[in-house]
Amino acid sequence: MTNNQYLPISKQDMINRGWDELDFIIVTGDAYVDHHSFGTAIISRVLENAGYRIGIIAQPNWKSIDDFIKLGVPRLGFMVNAGNMDSMVNHYTVSKKLRKKDLYSPGGKMGLRPDRATIVYCNKIREAYKDIPIIIGGIEASLRRFAHYDYWSDKVRKSILIDSGADLLVYGMSEKQVIEIANNLNDGLDIQYIRHIPGTCYLIADLENVYDYIEIPSYKEVCEDKYKYAQASKIQYEEQDPIRGRTVVQKHTNKYLVQNKPEMPLNREALDQVYSLPYQRNYHPIYENLGGIPAIEEVKFSIVSSRGCFGNCSFCAITFHQGRIVQSRSEDSILAEAKEITKHKDFKGFIHDVGGPTANFRYPACGNQLKVGSCKNKQCLYPKPCKNLDVDHSEYLELLKKLRKLPNVKKVFVRSGLRYDYIMADKDDTFFKELIMHHVSGQLKVAPEHISPKVLKFMRKPAGNTYDRFMKKFYKINESIGKKQYIIPYLMSSHPGSTLEAAIELAEYLRDIHYQPEQVQDFYPTPGTLSTTMFYTGLDPLTMKEVYIPKSKNEKAMQRALLQYRSPQNYNLVYAALTQANRKDLIGLGPKCLIKPKGKTNNKEYSKGKGKVKGTSSKYRPKQNKQKDGGRKNNKNKARRS
């Protein structure tokens, strides 16, 4: 594998290809990884396949213009993204502390991209080349396309299109958009007149030539009035459909931000073509002596099988970015990639994942989605599966069967999110049984998130006993086939609607199933989600009714501690929470108590955060270190979960 199989990152690479000029330069906040799990790789290869000459400037030094001019002036323009993650999420934990590692940088080193990378990069490009066309995209730009609440500064910011000074914003999965933009520029059309492409946003002085639009409250209004902010959020959410969605307009001082309706998702043939392009499936060799790029380890032997999600959780930005209409690759495309994976010198027989935002979604939720669009005021799985929902695991199951029969493949695991309510809606248990028999690496991770109906209704997650029924069936099937495997539930603390009482309710549930999670996730208010709107406004934008918001640092710490009430270091927080909630009945020595009283056995060690806690003893306790998956631990830290 030689350097020139990667796209140019230097003048010498251009010379080696016989190029004296590039058509587009892509500037990215990630290191250059030529793998289809990385947005830069997909966009660059799609443009290359369309005949354009593409160069990559990865993680430029933003303190001067030197890195931004090293490949020369592109003939048609710059394309800018912050990387696979929002740069602020990449840098900071939910408590706003600096993270220790950046998995998308050489050796996991922090500090190789700026905060608000899209804005910073665009400003440096403008400094170097005043009038060059700049197109922004990727997750950071996509989710910040309207005026949005910014958790890190605790204020409403303008559309990133205004703050960046870019000419055009591409949102969502953008293969179609970038090709059409490139073709328009190549044909000589000035970028200020490229206003017709679905899945893009632009700025305009007046609305004289904008048709069939809906105007949402302005930047000024959403800054001053949280009710207006919630109204704007509701309309944005309702119009994110490529079939029935309308153009959405928002005034920013003396300009209007115009969001064209979303682009139609790629059909199966087009999606197959995207994933068949000549990716090198690895990081660029320049990073080898710097420790490589840690993020590749999670995806090197995994296969992306689908996009989009009709699960529509309130805290997840997938709806706002990829949309509700699920698209999937063909069986032939996925099998062809699997065969290529087996040829890799490091492949040990284990395909680590076959999935997407939700692994067991392979088709649109129902036939209506591709005809009239997704329902505006109804959801596919909440509060219960829609009567029109097509529940079918058969194609996915056949795909998994064929993958595990490939030569040199020992195991095929499913580690992407699985919607357990969708599994339970399937009257045929064949998929569930096959999943447990062949595709679980000792632990199955699912995301109930909470058990309190009061919280789940704001998450738009299934309430009732759906998760309990799923868990019981999982263990029953395991018992019938002689396996000992475990469920790892993802749980979230401090989500809008979660009172201290709701957090205690969840702690009691964990007590009753004899399970303490090793990790829990505090709700992280990131741009583009309904839950973030709730967090900022105190209103549910879909109903405009008030929502309780746990905001104080102390209450959030108590809610988190309650989910790990057995941990000695959490004793004082749990004690304070139970006292504050008038639940001292849970402090004692009885079987229903969460913690012991102060002054009793081991109290000194508990109060000092010392001592040992006995492990759980039921069949629900996961054996954390005994999964058989080729020696590879599953340590995914997903920012958004199904």
pLDDT in tens, 453-481: 999 999 999 988 999 999 999 999 999 99
pLDDT at residue 613 above 60? no
Which amino acid belongs to residue 46?
A: V
Half-sphere exposure at residue 293, Cβ-oriented, CA atoms within 13 angstroms: 24
State the Cα–Cα distance between residues 313 and 417, nearest whole angstrom.
12
In 3D space, the residue among 214, 222, 217 whose CA is nearest the CA of residue 245 turns out to be: 214
Phi/psi at 480 (nearest 5 deg)?
A: -70, -25
Q: How confident is the model at residue 626 (pLDDT cuts 50, 70, 90)?
A: very low
Q: Look up residue 89 and give its two tokens.
A: 């999420």
State the Cα–Cα distance between residues 2 and 15, nearest whole angstrom.
15
In 3D space, the residue among 396, 306, 300, 388 whose CA is nearest the CA of residue 348 turns out to be: 300
Q: Look up residue 550 and give its two tokens.
A: 């746990």
Percent of the chain with pLDDT over 70: 93
pLDDT at residue 3 above 90? no
Mean pLDDT of 572-600: 95
500-512 and 553-562 helices cross at what angle (nearest 10)? 20
What's the Rg (C-alpha) of the chain? 25
What's the mean pLDDT when you consider all of the chain? 92
Match 């990667």 to its residue by tokens: 6
Given a contact cutoff of 8 angstroms between Cβ atoms, the answer to whether 169 and 134 are in contact is no
Mean pLDDT of 319-327: 94
In 3D space, the residue among 149, 140, 154 whose CA is nearest the CA of residue 104 turns out to be: 140
CATH class of 3-202+254-259: alpha beta
Half-sphere exposure at residue 577, Cβ-oriented, CA atoms within 13 angstroms: 30
pLDDT at residue 624 above 60? no
Q: What are the strands of the beta sheet with 521-522, ordered from one edge?
A: 443-449, 486-493, 521-522
pLDDT digits (tens, 9 = 90+) for 35-91: 999 999 999 999 999 999 999 999 999 999 999 999 999 999 999 999 999 999 999
Q: How confident is the model at residue 326 (pLDDT cuts 50, 70, 90)?
A: very high
Which amino acid belongs to residue 9?
A: I
Q: Look up residue 385 and give its two tokens.
A: 């599966």
pLDDT at residue 10 above 80? yes
State the Cα–Cα distance between residues 258 and 329, nearest whole angstrom.
32
Q: How confident is the model at residue 558 (pLDDT cuts 50, 70, 90)?
A: very high
β partners of residue 491: 449
Within the chain, all domains assigned CATH 3.40.50.280 are found at 3-202+254-259
pLDDT at residue 618 above 60? no
pLDDT digits (tens, 9 = 90+) for 220-242: 999 999 999 999 999 999 999 99
| Model pTM score | 0.92
571-580 and 553-562 helices cross at what angle (nearest 10)? 110
Q: Look up residue 124 and give its two tokens.
A: 């440096």
Mean pLDDT of 340-360: 95
